[in-house]
Amino acid sequence: MHAELGEHTPRTTSGPSTRARILEAAVELFYAQGIRATSADRIIEQVGVTKVTFYRHFRNKGELVIQYLEQQAEAERNWMQSEHRPGDPVGTLRALAVGIGEASCRPGFRGCAFINAAAEFSDAQDPVRRTVDAHRRWMFDYFNAVAGEAEPRRADAVARQLMLLRDGGMVSGYLGTPEEVADSLAAAFASVIATPSPA
């Protein structure tokens, strides 16, 4: 999901290029090392800019953290929407399961960026937590819409179960292969969708 800077990419201090490089370094370091463990100085050192330049683009580290999470949220939303199969909720969930299996078994995978961030910021009113919560509400609404295609009367309950399965599937990536995770997650997704409504 994260673009790598080319080996021969020129290092410039032009506005958009510098801002993009700072954000790219933050994405890499925040995800690999943790948000609180990564200082602004560490990012400044990796990018090779001055503190003045850094703070010209981001007023503080907190603003950079929000930008990092919003970038990750946009990427995940675009991916989930691209996997939607209108009128085929099982097909949609199968496609999502395959993608989650592939991502969670990839070298360097360290879990869901949003769950990781929430674990570091326990205050529900913190801007970081609000950003995390906003994205997870979007995911819930997405799963709700998919569930509604199969079982409108149970959409909320099914969406909650799909969220739990999605989170568990990402954790399981540490322990299995992409195919195993995808197959198990797809079967679990399909089982939830197929469960009949209570009389």
**10, 32, 58 - which closes a domain:** 58
In a domain, 43, yes or no: yes
Do residue 71 and residue 46 come from a single domain? Answer: no
Mean pLDDT of 118-131: 96
Do residue 132 and residue 83 come from a single domain? Answer: yes
Do residue 116 and residue 163 come from a single domain? Answer: yes
CATH number, domain with residue 22? 1.10.10.60
Do residue 98 and residue 114 come from a single domain? Answer: yes
The DSSP string of 163-191 is: HHHHHHHHHHTTTS-HHHHHHHHHHHHHH
166, 139 contact by CB (below 8 A): yes
DSSP structural state of residue 6: P
Asked if pLDDT for residue 199 goes beyond 50, the answer is no
Q: What is the pLDDT of residue 198?
A: 55
Do residue 68 and residue 54 come from a single domain? Answer: no
Interior/surface letters 93-106, b for 16+ CB within 10 angstroms, e for the rest? bbbbbbbbbebbbe
Q: How far apart are the first and last CA of the chain?
A: 44
In a domain, 142, yes or no: yes
Do residue 44 and residue 67 come from a single domain? Answer: no
pTM recorded for the entire structure:
0.85
Do residue 99 and residue 16 come from a single domain? Answer: no
Full domain range(s) for residue 31:
1-58
Percent of the chain with pLDDT over 90: 72
**58, 77, 106 - which closes a domain:** 58
In a domain, 199, yes or no: no
Over residues 149-167, the pLDDT tens digits come to 998 899 999 999 999 999 9
Q: How far apart are CA 138 and CA 10, in angstroms?
A: 37
Coil, helix or strand at residue 59? coil
